[in-house]
């Protein structure tokens, strides 16, 4: 239902703008850091991928969506050094503002992500207390698109997500910085 409502609002905004609009799609990949010292010690940072789609509504303003996936790390945890894994991924929606400086586009964006996180620990005690949940968080990002043709561009982005969760009795931050680069395709209507 939410996806349909989002699509309907997007179509109405496009129709109401009465102006030319553009679509940018692409994929980025890169590194993800861990903010929490305990998470960083056990799992460390990791790699991620990020496909995205953004629609420019009016000059400089755009709405879009993306999906952050790929973060899956293993480590050892606790006094008995038990094997553990952590996976974090989820969809994002965002609004952004683009500054076009031929052949560059600089941008800032903010949005909301709904991230699923799952931790497993190879321990008889942990089997009764699984960590498998999701949590929403704000995100902020800035980046650049470098066009090398009318439609193709290279992109780079730095994003920060503060993802604080409390799976048991102590809050931890599964968030951190993302440093990504990739390629995209733009079409103007």
51 prior amide bond cis, ω within 30: no
In the structure, what pLDDT confidence band is assigned to residue 20 with cuts at 50, 70 and 90?
A: low
| Domains defined along the chain, listed by start | 20-188 (2.40.160.20)
3-state secondary structure of 62: strand
pLDDT tens sequence across 78-102 = 777 888 899 999 999 999 999 988 8
DSSP conformation letters of 127-164: GGS-EEEEEEEEEEEEEEEEESSSSEEEEEEEEEE--E
Report which of 163, 157, 31, 13 is spatially closest to residue 88, judged by C-alpha positions: 163
For the record, the structure tokens of 79 come out as 């006094």
* CA 140 remoteness from chain centre: 10
User: Residue 101's pLDDT is what?
Assistant: 86
Arithmetic mean of pLDDT over the chain:
87
Helix (H) or strand (E) holding 70: strand 61-77
Residue 128 has pLDDT above 80, yes or no: no
Residue 60 has pLDDT above 90, yes or no: no
Can you tell me the distance from the alpha carbon of 102 to that of 28, in angstroms, rounded to the nearest whole number? Answer: 22
């Amino acid at each position: 239902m939410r996806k349909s409502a989002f699509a309907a609002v997007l179509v109405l905004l496009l129709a109401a703008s009465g102006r030319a609009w553009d679509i940018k799609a692409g994929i980025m990949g890169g590194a993800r850091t861990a903010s929490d010292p305990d998470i960083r010690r056990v799992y460390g940072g990791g790699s991620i991928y990020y496909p995205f789609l953004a629609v420019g509504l009016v000059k400089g303003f755009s709405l879009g969506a993306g999906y952050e996936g790929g973060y899956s790390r293993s480590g050892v945890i606790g006094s008995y050094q038990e094997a553990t894994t952590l996976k974090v991924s989820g969809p994002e929606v965002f609004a952004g503002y683009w500054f076009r400086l031929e052949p560059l586009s600089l941008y800032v964006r903010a949005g909301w992500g709904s991230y699923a996180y799952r931790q497993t620990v190879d321990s008889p005690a942990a089997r009764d207390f699984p960590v498998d949940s999701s949590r929403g968080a704000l995100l902020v990002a800035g980046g650049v698109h470098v066009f090398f043709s009318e439609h193709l561009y290279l992109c780079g982005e730095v994003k920060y997500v503060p993802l604080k969760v409390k799976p048991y009795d102590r809050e931890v931050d599964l968030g951190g910085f993302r440093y990504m680069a990739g390629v995209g395709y733009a079409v103007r209507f």
